[in-house]
Amino acid sequence: MTLLAVERIKLFTTRSPIWCTLAALAVTIGFAALVAGVDNENPATIASSQFGYGFGLVVIMVMATLAITTEYRFGTIRATFQAVPNRISALLAKTTVVAGFAALVGLVTAFGSVAITKAIKSNADLAINTAFEWRATAGTGLVYAAAAIIAVAVGILIRHSAGAVSLVLIYSQLVESLIALIPKVGDDIQKWMPFYVANRFLTGDPDVTSRAVAEGPPASVTPLSPWGAAAYFVGFALVLLAIALFTANKRDA
Amino acid sequence: MIEAVGLSKRYGKTVAVDDLSFTVQAGRVTGFLGPNGAGKSTTMRMILGLDAPSAGSVRIDGKRYRELHQPLRTVGALLDAKWVHPNRSARAHLRWLAKSNRLPSKRVDEVLETVGLTGVANRRAGGFSLGMSQRLGIAAALLGDPQVLLFDEPVNGLDPEGILWIRRFMHRLADEGRTVFVSSHLLSEMALTAQELVVIGRGKLIAQCSTEEFVAQATENTVTVRSPQLALMRSALDEQGAGVREDKDGLVVSGMEMAEIGELAAAKGVVLHELSQQRGSLEEAFIQLTGDSVEYHAMGVDADPIAEAQTTGSTDLQPAGK
Confidence of residue B285 (pLDDT cuts 50, 70, 90): low
Helical ranges in B116-218 per DSSP H: 130-142, 160-175, 187-193, 211-218
The answer to the question of residue B235 being in a domain is yes
What is the model's pLDDT at position B292?
47
Contact B137, A79 (CB under 8 A): no
B232 and B170 within one domain: no
CB contact under 8 A, A85 and B85: no
- Predicted model pTM: 0.83
Q: Which of B60, B96, B101, B138 to mutate against chain A (most A CBs within 10 Å)?
A: B96
CA distance A238 to chain B (A): 25
Please answer whether residues A240 and A99 qualify as being in contact, where contact means their C-beta atoms are separated by less than 8 angstroms: no
Q: Note which residues in 27-66 of chain B have CB less than 8 A from chain A.
A: 45, 48-52, 65-66
The answer on B232 and B168 residing in a single domain is no
What secondary structure does DSSP assign to B215-242, as a single string? Answer: HHHHT--EEEEE-TTHHHHHHHHHHTT-
Same domain, B59 and B10: yes
B180 domain-assigned: yes
B237 and B197 housed in the same domain: no
Contacts of B60 (CB under 8 A, 6+ apart): B1, B2, B3, B47, B68, B74, B75, B148
pLDDT 10s digits, B102-160: 999 999 999 999 999 999 999 999 999 998 999 999 999 999 999 999 999 998 878 89
Would you write out chain A's pLDDT as a tens digit for each of its 253 residues? 899 999 999 999 998 889 999 999 999 999 999 988 887 777 888 888 888 889 999 999 999 999 999 999 999 999 999 999 999 999 999 999 999 999 999 999 999 999 999 999 888 888 888 888 899 999 999 999 999 999 999 999 999 999 999 999 999 999 998 998 899 888 889 989 999 999 889 887 776 555 554 555 666 778 889 999 999 999 999 999 999 999 999 999 8
For residues A21 and A63, the answer to whether their CB atoms sit within 8 Å is yes
- The domain ranges of chain A are 2-250
Contact between A74 and B77 using a beta-carbon 8 Å cutoff: no
Query: Which residue from B minimizes the CA distance to A9?
Result: B96
Chain B residue numbers with beta carbons less than 8 Å from the beta carbon of A15 are 87
In a domain, residue B313? The reply is: no
Residues B147 and B265 in one domain: no
Residue-level pLDDT at A214: 54
Which of A:159-188 have CB within 8 Å of B?
none
Range of the domain at B158: 2-216
Q: For residue B312, is it within any domain? A: no
Helices (H), chain B: 40-47, 90-100, 106-115, 130-142, 160-175, 187-193, 211-218, 230-239, 258-268, 281-290, 293-298, 305-312
With contacts defined as CB-CB under 8 Å, which chain B residues touch A6? 96, 99-100
Q: Last residue of some domain: B216, B251, B266?
A: B216
Is residue B129 located within the same domain as residue B236? no
Same domain, B190 and B230: no
**Are A84 and A3 a contacting pair, CB within 8 Å?**
yes
The 10s digit of each residue's pLDDT in B34-83 is: 888 889 999 999 999 999 999 999 999 999 999 999 999 999 999 999 99
> In terms of domains, do B210 and B274 share one?
no
Do B181 and B234 have their domain in common? no
Which residue of B9, B45, B48, B50 to mutate against A (max A Cβ within 10 Å)? Answer: B50
pLDDT interval class at B287 (50, 70, 90): low
User: In chain B, whose CA is at the least distance from the CA of A79?
Assistant: B83
| d(C-alpha B203, C-alpha B27), whole Å | 26
How far is the alpha carbon of B18 from chain A, nearest alpha carbon, in Å? 18
* pLDDT above 90 as % of chain B: 56
Q: Inspect the interface and report whether the beta carbons of A2 and B99 lie closer than 8 Å.
A: yes
Q: Write phi, then psi, for B301 (nearest 5 degrees).
A: -65, -40
Residues 67-96 of B with CB under 8 A from A: 67-68, 71-72, 77, 79-80, 82-89, 92-93, 95-96
Q: Are residues B43 and B103 in the same domain?
A: yes
The CATH number that applies at residue B211 is 3.40.50.300
Q: How many helices (H) and strands (E) does chain A have?
A: 13, 0
Amino acid letter at B97?
Answer: L
Q: What share of chain B is helix, strand, coil (3-state, %, to 5)?
A: 40, 25, 35
Rounded CA gap, A211 and A176, in Å? 25
Q: DSSP assignment, residue B124?
A: B
Burial class (CB in 10 A: 0-12, 13-18, 19+), B5: middle
Domain edge (last residue) among B198, B216, B234: B216
Q: Report the CATH number at residue B274.
A: 3.30.70.100
**Contact (CB<8Å) A83/B92:** no
Q: Are both B147 and B106 inside the same structural domain?
A: yes
B120 assigned to some structural domain: yes
Interface test mutation site (partner B, options A9, A82, A91, max chain B beta carbons within 10 A): A82
- Residues B259, B115 share a domain: no
Contact check, Cβ <8 Å, A9/B99: yes
Please give the tally of structural domains in chain B.
2
Give the model's pLDDT for residue B243. Answer: 83
